[in-house]
A = this chain, B = another copy of it.
Amino acid sequence: MKQKITLKHIARELGVSISTVSKALKNSEEISVDTKEKIQAFAKLYNYKPNNIAVSLKNKRTKNIGVVIPDIVHHFFTTVFRGIEKYANGQGYNVIICVSDESFDKEVINMEMLNNGSIDGFIMSLSAETQQKNDINHLREVVDQGIPLVLFDRVTDDIDCDKVILNDREIAYKATVKLLEEGRKRIALATTESYFNVSEKRAEGYKQALTEYGIELDDNLVLVLPYDDIKEEVINDFFEREAVDAVLSVNEIFAIQCMSVAKKRGMKIPEDISFIGFTDGLLSRYSNPRLTVVAQHGVTMGEEAAKMLIDRVEREIDGNDEEAYRTHIVEATIIERESTKN
């Protein structure tokens, strides 16, 4: 087992000083060609690599970014993460990831765990519980300390920082219009509890479209489902109770499940009923019929978030940190598949 080699080792071995070695390895003009070659050869031979930790301590920057997300076993977050990781690695940054598991406490703990010099900035999407309580002191603290923070998707208006969001309201509006243009009259909205800001925004778009098309809002057509452990009967009861000819769902699971129940009830898709879901995941692509979806372009969101964060981190280093906070809006698109007419 060969130990990691340091400047000190090289210096001692070659009978020169540490700073000579340091300069030689940076190809400094100060050092004679001879010694440079000797030192560089030696360093290469022993595969010298500067110790990142020491460099971080010196530079007061780690080239690490911290990502705190509610869930990793979830297609959307996974794609966003992919975008973050891709961009960050390209810029020489590493990504430390923590999962809050939709828990406020874990979110706070995760942030504290990272906020001790381990990272140069945060990229986050709020946990369900955090959105519900709307307790954001942990975010405020980070911002107050001057640590760059980028929020994506599940954001809050109560904190001033960079943000990356989807045009949720507009795309929900468009999706609803699409259903209306198909001639649908009784469009249901399958959604989560209302404390998710994105669900709220999507509901707004849905309602706006209906209103514009002169259709009276009917709260009975709004089906609120729990995040997990969905019971088929609930959905079946819903279809039993309400005559529905289209469903807009804020995620793909709800859409798939509603579609499944509709099929069992003998409805033809998309002849009798249309479906559109948010999230272009595997479920939508491999369902039967394949689901028309709102693609959230998670990778783009992630890349953009990482770019905003790293830009700000590097700007701070250069001293001109007083750039105004921006909110970048990623444009969702509708991918038409078999669950809608066209």
Contact = CB atoms under 8 A, between A and B. Distances in A.
Given A51-B117, A95-B96, A96-B96, A288 B288 contact: yes
Interface stretch (A11-19, A36-44, A76-84, A122-130): A76-84
Given A53-B53, A72-B82, A145-B4, A96 B99 contact: no
Interface string A101-120: 00000000010111111100
A73 B115 CA distance: 27
Interface stretch (A54-62, A161-169, A236-244, A267-275): A54-62
Contacts of A53: 53, 56-57, 62, 117-118
Count of identical protomers in the assembly: 2
A50 interface: yes
Contacts of A4: 117, 145
Contacts of A64: 96, 118
Given A49-B116, A96-B94, A116-B50, A2 B145 contact: yes
Interface stretch (A170-178, A199-207, A219-227, A252-260): A252-260
A110 B89 contact: yes
Interface in A140-190: 141, 144-146
30 contacts: A1-B144, A2-B146, A3-B145, A4-B117, A49-B116, A50-B116, A51-B116, A52-B117, A53-B118, A54-B57, A54-B117, A64-B96, A64-B118, A72-B72, A72-B78, A72-B85, A73-B75, A73-B78, A73-B79, A73-B82, A85-B98, A85-B99, A94-B96, A94-B113, A95-B96, A95-B97, A96-B96, A253-B282, A260-B288, A282-B283
Interface of A: 1-4, 47, 49-54, 56-57, 62, 64, 72-73, 75, 78-79, 81-82, 85-86, 89, 92, 94-99, 110, 112-118, 141, 144-146, 253, 256-257, 260, 263, 281-283, 286-288
